[in-house]
Every structure is written in C-alpha cells, then in structure tokens.
Structure 1
C-alpha cells in the first residue's frame, strides 16, 4: 500500500479509482449498484468532482482488493495538496497580471514577494500599468503600499537636499 500511496500522493483518488476499475475490467454503473451506491456518485468521483467518503472507501477497498483505508488515505493526501496549493497562491500576487518585463534585471521566478515587497511595489508603481497596480493593492493592501510610498518620498527628499 505504501508504494501505491507514495506513487499517487496528491492526485484525486477518483483518477486512481478509474485506473483500477479499467485494470480489473469493472464498469462503474454495475459496480456502484452492487455496493448499494448511486452510479452518479462513482462517476463524479472518477471525474474528480466529488471526494471519497470513509464508507465508500471501505466498500471500494474491499471490492478492488486494496488494503483497507487506501482510498481514504489517497483522499486525505489530495486534500493536503489542495491546501498547500491554496497557501502557495496566497504567497504571491496573480502573476498572470504582472508583466515579467517590469523585472527585466531580476530572475522573475525567484522573487520573494513577501520579503522583497518594497522593491516590488516601487518597481510596479514606477513602471506598471493600472491593472498591475490594482493587483498590488489587492495583494499587499493599500496600507502597505502607502507605507512604501511614504518611505520612498522621504528618501527622495533627502537625496535632493544632499545635491
């Protein structure tokens, strides 16, 4: 079981179920009815539209000859992966809006959007379009942007007075 689980970690269990059904020559409809389940449920699971329940997992594991809990563990790993994906999206702005050309002198994929926020905000405010500026406001918040612009203006005043 460990080999199967490590191989399919993070993949929706429905896709693995579909594979197992084909391998064993089972049809979804008759299989669902034989387990006292609605065929639509199995169909939705194999299409990734629905999650695996504990009760269904037990039935499927027994029917397919898998170790008890296999399908449910795959569901748990899938849920964990979904949560990780959500968190990684929260770590950076919508990169389909921000043009890479704004950061021509930097490796765009290596920008740490959290720690390098000041440079990012300055660059986008200086060279970005309205859509990019709005994405920064959405991501960082107006307060953080105001704080960066105030510190930038103060630095510019100091540099001007030195000349």
Structure 2
C-alpha cells in the first residue's frame, strides 16, 4: 500500500476514491460490478458515499484493479474515524446557535468546560433562558441530569 496515497486520502469515503480509480481505467461501474460478482446498485451506493466498503468486496475490487490488499478497507477505517471524531466534537458542547451569547456575557464561550461547569450552566439557562434554550440544554445533558441539578439548586419550578 502506498503510504503517501493513503495519507493523502485519509478521511475521504472509499467510494469516492473507487469512482476516481474506475474513471482512470475507463471502467463503467455496472459492467465492473458484474465482473467482480457484485450488484451494480451496491457499487453505485458505495461510489456515492451512501454505503460503506466491506472486506469481501474490497478484496475483489482491489484484485480487479491491481491495488494492494487492504487499500479500500484502510480508507474505510480512516473515514469512520473522521466521522466518529466529528460526532464526538458535535457532542462536546450544546448547539451554540440556539443559545444566545448574551447568556454568557461574562465569559468566553469557547473556554467553557461544558462538563465541569454544567451545574452553573444549567442554573444560568434555567434562570435566564427561553424555552428553546432550555430544551437544548436538556438535549445536551439529558433530562435526568438537568432535573437532578435543578433539584439540587431548588430550581425545579424553572424546569
């Protein structure tokens, strides 16, 4: 496997790379799929990024295209890692587009530790926030945690 090529392609869906490889070799997806004993629709979904690559298909494609074994599965793993990191980053703080910046007038929002300071954040949102902001905090922390914090703060009427 060409490490440089993998490094350049890390995080890209393997189907997009497959599409490019097929075009380079002037191969049409349908006939190629049939030649490797795969359903054309599955290959089409992969090249559109709608479906992931699996090991068995990856091996057949790599063999047919003269690529090193594991090329497409390596791309698949790196793509999944990138997607998982994106999901985790999305979960690292509430949707800031929903929370008015004025609620945090006294602090730099980018420096808030949303987990360590959750008690103060929940208190602030439930004392000063609107219903949409409260709903976002419930979504982010979970209703049970919000309810528990509000009870500790004797703000259950605000929840």
What is the deviation of 1:36?
Answer: 1.8
Whether 1:46 aligns to 2:86 is no
Find runs of 4+ consecutive structure 1 residues off by over 3 angstroms.
141-153
Residue 145 of structure 1 corresponds to which residue in structure 2? Answer: 146
Instruction: State the alpha-carbon separation in 2 of the partners of residues 98 and 72 from structure 1.
Output: 40
Q: Pick closer, same or farther for the CA change 1:114–1:46 going to 2, 3 Å.
A: same
What is the deviation of 1:27?
Answer: 1.5
Residue 71 of structure 1 corresponds to which residue in structure 2? Answer: 72
Residue 24 of structure 1 corresponds to which residue in structure 2? Answer: 25
Instruction: State the alpha-carbon separation in 1 of the partners of residues 89 and 126 from structure 2.
Output: 24
Residue 109 of structure 2 corresponds to which residue in structure 1? Answer: 108
Q: Pick closer, same or farther for the CA change 1:51–1:147 going to 2, 3 Å.
A: closer
Task: Please identify, of 137-146 and 121-130, the stretch whose mean Cα deviation from structure 2 is larger.
Answer: 137-146
Secondary structure in 1 matching 2:59: helix
Deviations 1:6-34 (A, max 9, x none): 22222211111112222222211121122
Aligned residues: 154
Instruction: State the alpha-carbon separation in 1 of the partners of residues 49 and 69 from structure 2.
Output: 21
Which is greater in Rg? Answer: 1
Instruction: State the alpha-carbon separation in 2 of the partners of residues 104 and 23 from structure 1.
Output: 55
Q: CA RMSD in A?
A: 2.3
> TM-score scaled to structure 1, two decimals?
0.79
Instruction: State the alpha-carbon separation in 2 of the partners of residues 17 and 104 from structure 1.
Output: 49
Instruction: State the alpha-carbon separation in 2 of the partners of residues 23 and 101 from structure 1.
Output: 54
> TM-score scaled to structure 2, two decimals?
0.81
Instruction: State the alpha-carbon separation in 1 of the partners of residues 96 and 128 from structure 2.
Output: 16
Unaligned segments of structure 2, at least 5 residues: 155-159
Unaligned segments of structure 1, at least 5 residues: 154-163
